[in-house]
A and B are shown apart, each in its own frame.
Chain A
Amino acid sequence: MPHQVPWLIFLLPLFSFILVSFILRPFFNHRPKLGGYVTIAAIGTACVLSFWVVAEVFGAPGHKLEIPDIQWLLISDFSIHIGLMIDSLTAVMLVVVTVVSLMVQIYSQGYMEGDPGYHRYYAFMSLFTACMLGLVMADNLVFMYLFWEGVGLCSYLLIGFWFHKPSAADAAKKAFIVTRFGDLGFLAAILLLFYTTGTFDIEELHGLAIAGVLAGTTLTWVAIGIFAGAVGKSAQFPLHVWLPDAMEGPTPVSSLIHAATMVAAGVFLVARMYPLFEYSEVALTTVAVIGGFTAIFAASMGLVMTDIKRVLAYSTISQLGYMMLGLGTGGIAIGMFHLFNHAFFKCLLFLGAGSVNHSTGTFDIREMGGLRKVMPWTYATFLIASLSIAGIWPLSGFWSKDEIVVSSFANNPILFYLAMITVFMTAFYMFRVIFLTFGGEYRGGASSEHGSHEPHESSRVMVIPMVVLAVLAVFSGWLNVTGAFGAFMGHGEVCGFAEGFFGILTHPLPLISLLLAGLGILLAYAMYSAKWVSAEAVGRAFRPLYTLLYRKYWFDELYEKVIVVRVLVDGLCAALDFFDARVVDGAVNGVGDGTAAAGNALRRVQTGQLQVYVMAIAVGVVAIAVFCYLFG
């Protein structure tokens, strides 16, 4: 394989961004579809090339390709190289990102039809994909951080795509600022690493951690810092608040953010720097605990949300928690395998939600209902994705979720119970959405800029990507039934199930989790379809709990009223303001005032009297003469 191929994977979406934003948008704005075609062509080619790279990586010794570096910066004798790191982890991410992105772009052709910002949308989407591809291929932390921030920027631009809506603008700011808190930790970790080791190169850092040069407290702090970055990007507790609000963007954007780009970056980062975590017990435990807690914490809020996209958002946070739990208790392969499967079914769920919104004009599941008959394709694919996320055998979610459950059972019993309860909750909230959206009778929908009041199946351009993703959501899990995916990731941990495809059903742990998922579905059926139990009555019976969940544990209020207003505005900002007004401005004004005062005093010398000046000249000449005579 020529070395240019991996570069092209990154450069094609970047070129598409440049082409769409600098040529198509200004000069071909009357042909909006053109931008979409360019982006789809670029990402489609990148997708094909990604599969080529995977094939090459699969055949390469150690599942690793050597790509020559290019020198970027030379600062005295220290040089920063631009290089690509193509190993199995990168290869898997390349496939996930390009496939999901391609499906989303195709779907967007239908979803965004008629939007005045069509070219802008595709330009940002291209850039978003390019940044994520750069992030997964970067071989040093500086480069990675660059794309890390690039991904953050693009998510800001896309969440705030409809910036004329104040809620969208606020959500974009929130996403950007909240993740910034995590990025601070990541940046500190990079600087600490460089201070300690003098290198940014990821492979060298791996080597140093494995050799034990990088160890002890430093390693722990570095790992925690990196994890802080991942917590921000992957919306883990306590920085989870931005993701549900990120729903303000167009639905395909949410789909891309939740499946392949933004939030996957955090999990990927931990996986990429995994050797650093492995040698620090504290860091690894932190990852597992935060992940396990986030999984159940977010799932509990997902139980009561009435906005279909918000339910999905909390489910993403919860699933990301699972991935972190998998990384913390199992290893790269287990966490990444869930990311791989989750990307397809979560993308599909969001595309389904977008399709439903397109037809009913609302995201509120209380206003939907009965869509099973009018939107059979959407219903079928959404159902498959829901079964997959709920972990029903033999869909993909089952295989990766049970890997995580099994590994947490072996390592941390408390987290295992949390994960089990989460399985139940996941099944419940997903099927609550299904029964409310697709079951029963149509409850009217709402009017909006999209679609009419009369529900209808979405156009073919939207349905086809959903079908492709549904196929992937069924089969992607089969890659690791016996551990093939884990062997490819090549980190040595045990994964897969020795029992095989059918034998798994005799394994007790997967059986229990299946049972719990089944119970969740049954409860949802009882409450929202058969109405054996009234949902309102349950809500009333547990009023305080319901309010707690519905108000999202008051985290938004806590952050806004206490942290932002009290700590930041009244505390930190007031102190900084004082410093700025008194010390910085004082110094600047002091220089100005001093100069003015000196000038005021000295200008009296200018008397306007010619003879005074001549006198000064004469005295000066005499003084110089005397000086020369005495010292010359």
Chain B
Amino acid sequence: MTKDNSEYLILRGDNTYEVVIGLEVHAQVTSNSKLFSSSSTTFGAEPNTQVSLVDAAFPGMLPVINEYCVKQAIKTGIGLKAQINKRSVFDRKNYFYPDLPQGYQISQFKYPIVGEGTVILDMPNGQKEVGIERLHLEQDAGKSIHDMDPQNTLVDLNRSGVALMEIVSKPDLRTPDEVSAYVKKLRSIMRYLGTCDGNMQEGSLRADVNISVRIKGSDKLGTRCEIKNVNSIKFMQMAINYEANRQVDLIEEGKTIDQETRLFDTKKNETRSMRSKEDAHDYRYFPDPDLLPLEVTDEFIEKIKADIPELPDAKKKRFIDQFKVSAYEATILVSDIDTAEYFEEVVAKMGKNQDIKLAVNWITGELFAVLNNKNLEISESPISAKNLAKLVNLIKNGTISGKIAKTIFELMMDGDKDPQIIVDEKGLKQESNPKALEALIDKIINDNREKAIEYKQGKEKLFGFFVGQAMKVSGGKANPQLINDILKKKL
């Protein structure tokens, strides 16, 4: 494998293989009720307590579509810069499984609600455009539980009928990093739009990964395998890594790759075949006669368009223009709607004499580290944007040093304390009075006469020693810039 992470190539003997990846992302539509029934979609309810007669497919029960889910799909389509189809059709995908009560899933096969679009990825070596093939609405299935009872499989239909958007990419992805960036970008766009919460732990976002390999430079697609239902980015990357190498090995051994559905075993870190070939599915898609074609007007679409918020790409551009942050910083700040909002709130709260660069450093540095450590989302940040803005201002106006700020930051986490109050209570205000500092430094030089002479003789490293002493004696409160200046003068 090559080291350059912009390329992901597999070398075997004289052959160099590239990996071709396409994703089918299943994103749960954010809505109160299900796609075709009025039961709740809330996560984590007691088994079978959010199941209506429609969801459990009782005889004579009929689907009635949720308008909000239609709007959410169109909204997402607009966010993906995609074609919105004014006429789409719901089909039945027929197969038997205990968690599929109707014996078919209502989906969109020939005529999806959203057609081709694009997503732009910010990769370290530049931008990459990934094509969207389509987005369609469909029902989620229930949950089969295999490990609660040794003889039986138990079925919970709470999820049955929840609206999903299946977003199908073109086979434009080439590396695990691109896959990661793609999923994150999709997630980000949908979170901006409020169409999917993107919560992978709760299964709101999962993907089927299509992988094939080919000799680099070839324009023919190899036989692909589909890895079903991978529910984290890390697992997607692991699965791709395993599967691509498995396929290359098969080719190198002169064997053929079977087009099949595979499962990623997260414990063994391998993919394995899910269904034997004789069980190959024939889904017998046909238009659902209980539903008519879904027709939306231009007016309906325009109304949704008017509601679209600023999306990551536009926000990034604005951040660069308005706040003069670097492209790299902007990418990080806009990657998640909550981060972007937090940042903008910090900027707003800093007021006139603001240091945006410093604010960005604090957000992406200290704050991110803490969130990461505590496994928190920025929306759950123990420090509010208002107080972080105050902290940054205290540094900027010289009230505290960066070093003291770190101590204050730690203290702020306890109940989102106001940094000004901490400074006052603990007397942490920075010593910036030149006279006081001069006196302090005179004393240090006096106490360390020999070292001062050594320094003057050219041992410049000792400068740091004096700075350290000054900070130590002042209890960290001395203004470091002034200490530097005074020391240079005195020594």
A and B associate? no
Interface residues of A (CB under 8 A from B): none
